[in-house]
Structure 1
Amino acid sequence: MVVIGDSLSTGFGTSPEEAWPRQLGQALQSGQHPVDIINAAKNGAGYLAAGEGGETFGSQIAATLNASTDIVVFFGSDNDAGQDPAALKAAVADALSTSKTLAPHAARIVIGPLTAFEPVKADVDVIRDQERTVALDAGAEFVDPITEHWIAGPSSPLLGPDHEHPSSQGQRFLKGMIQGILASLKTPPP
């Protein structure tokens, strides 16, 4: 399994050891069918936004996916706030298309941005809407943390002091939510 993402998946505000992909990897290693997780996420990255080391979701895909990849989880990214919606939609479509080419048998799960609180709610809603449209058109699973109310508000204990990134409790919460999504895949990977 490969995680493509931003600071929501790196442990930013907590630690890489507490990040949900690491916790999920530890939980899935002890199961009947162990799963190795490659966490390609980089702080500041997005479909268009360049994060640490100039990384985007596209460069993360190119560096990590191959024919042996069974699951790709895309998570985020509010780092694309303020981008042209058409350019964002094209970047999401390119990411999903490239992931399908590099990992043709992989289940693809697109998880939208985590939160949409003022003042960037409109921007985050645009990102979520573009991701949902493209994901569904591409036959990928789409999960909407905003509509599903994963985070109740900016003062939620699931968020750290910056009111944006997951706290330690939030990382555990994300691990549980994503583990549940994996368990409910319509067509589990081989």
Structure 2
Amino acid sequence: MRVRGKLVAMAVLAAVVASVLLLVSGRAGAGGDGCRERAAAADERRELVTGSGPETLVIGDSYSVGLGVKPAESWPTRLPGRVRVDGFSGSGFSYAASGCPGADFATRAQTAVRDDTGLVVVQGGLNDFDQPVAELESGFDRLMKEVGDRSVLVVGPPNAPERADAVPNVDAVLARLAEEHGTAYLPMRDLELPYLPDRLHLTAEGHRMFGDVVAGAVAGLTD
């Protein structure tokens, strides 16, 4: 009976561990070996600065990093101007969207936003799929305080099949918050995009399509 009890306990523990791993790996870019690897990927993407002219800063998640494609194929390369990217896989507006400390958008904006930063494009929402609305609101408010009086374009989450059930709610909350802050909002959930086999991240063609839509919105703000 003791042996059987131990086996049952081990099975329960294994199930709990598997559930935790599934939750972590299910986030947009939260897979891999941990925060150190994601930080290294963020640093690599940060080194790629494209274009020339007024500076645009992109703050985002694994989409902005270009997880699953080459950095040069990631959607921010389609934007006009001199584009810097501060992306971190698995991150979001909410502080706890990522399991990595200080990865939320507002905290990263403290160092990413510079004196010569003009437009700030904030892309995300997929990793906030399981966060309370209050946490989304708090993270959004903190981000807007860090950005200050700069122009901001918030790019909402696309309808990734792996997050399809949660996207409408996140999209609605972000659209409301953007309106309350007088910030431009670009909904992306009606855009049909090609995804990688994980049904969460974009193919190179998906990045091109995503980037071109955002570039059109940026052009409308800067004209």
- Cα distance change on mapping 1:72 and 1:51 into 2, 3 Å: farther
Q: Secondary structure at the match of 1:59?
A: helix
For 1:41, the aligned partner's letter is: G
- Structure 1 stretches of 4+ with a deviation exceeding 6 A read none
1:47 aligns with 93
Tell me, what secondary structure is at the counterpart of 1:3? Answer: strand
Aligned to 1:32: none
Letter in 2 for 1:143: L
SS in 1 for 2:72: coil
Q: Tell me, what secondary structure is at the counterpart of 1:110?
A: strand
In the alignment, which residue of structure 2 is the partner of 1:107?
Answer: 151
Give, in angstroms, the shift of residue 76 of structure 1: 1.2
Name the amino acid aligned to 1:114: P
Q: 2:73 aligns with which of 13, 18, 22?
A: 18
Q: CA deviation at 1:17?
A: 1.7
TM-score by length of 2: 0.68
Letter paired with 2:105: F
Three-state SS of the structure 2 residue aligned to 1:72 is strand
Deviation per residue, 1:138-185 (Å, 9 max, x gap): 111011111xx212xxxx5x2122221110101111221111111111
Partners of 1:129 and 1:87 in 2: how far apart? 15
2:57 equivalent in structure 1:
2
If asked which structure has higher relative contact order (CA below 8 Å, sep 6+), I would say: 1
CA positional deviation for 1:134: 1.0
Q: Residues 27-176 of structure 1: matches in 2 within 5 Å?
A: 28=80, 35-48=81-94, 49-50=97-98, 54-100=102-148, 104=149, 106-115=150-159, 117=161, 120-146=163-189, 149-151=190-192, 156=193, 158-176=194-212
Contact persistence 2:158–2:167 (CA under 8 A): no
What percentage of residue pairs aligned between the two structures are identical?
A: 27
Task: Report the CA distance between 1:36 and its aligned residue.
Answer: 1.4
Could you say which structure has the larger radius of gyration?
2
Work out the number of aligned pairs and report it.
166
- Matched to 1:38, the amino acid is R
Amino acid at match of 2:60: G
Higher helix share: 2
Corresponding residue SS for 1:128: helix
AA aligned opposite 1:111: V
- For structure 2, which runs of at least 5 residues remain unmatched after alignment? 1-55
Separation (CA, whole Å) in 2 of partners of 1:95 and 1:116: 24
For 2:78 and 2:188, the matched residues in 1 are separated by 19
- CA distance in 2 between partners of 1:97 and 1:123 (Å): 27
Does the CA-based 8 Å contact 2:78-2:215 persist in structure 1?
no
Normalised by the size of structure 1, how large is the TM-score? 0.79
User: In structure 2, how many angstroms separate the alpha carbons of the residues matched to 1:164 and 1:116?
Assistant: 5
Q: Which runs of 5+ in 1 are unaligned?
A: 29-34
- The RMSD of aligned alpha carbons is 2.0
User: What is the aligned partner in structure 2 of residue 31 from structure 1?
Assistant: none
* Letter of the 1:89 counterpart: E
Give per-residue Cα distances to partners, 1:67-96, cap 9 Å, x unaligned. Answer: 321100111121111111122112112212
Secondary structure of the corresponding residue to residue 82 of structure 2: coil
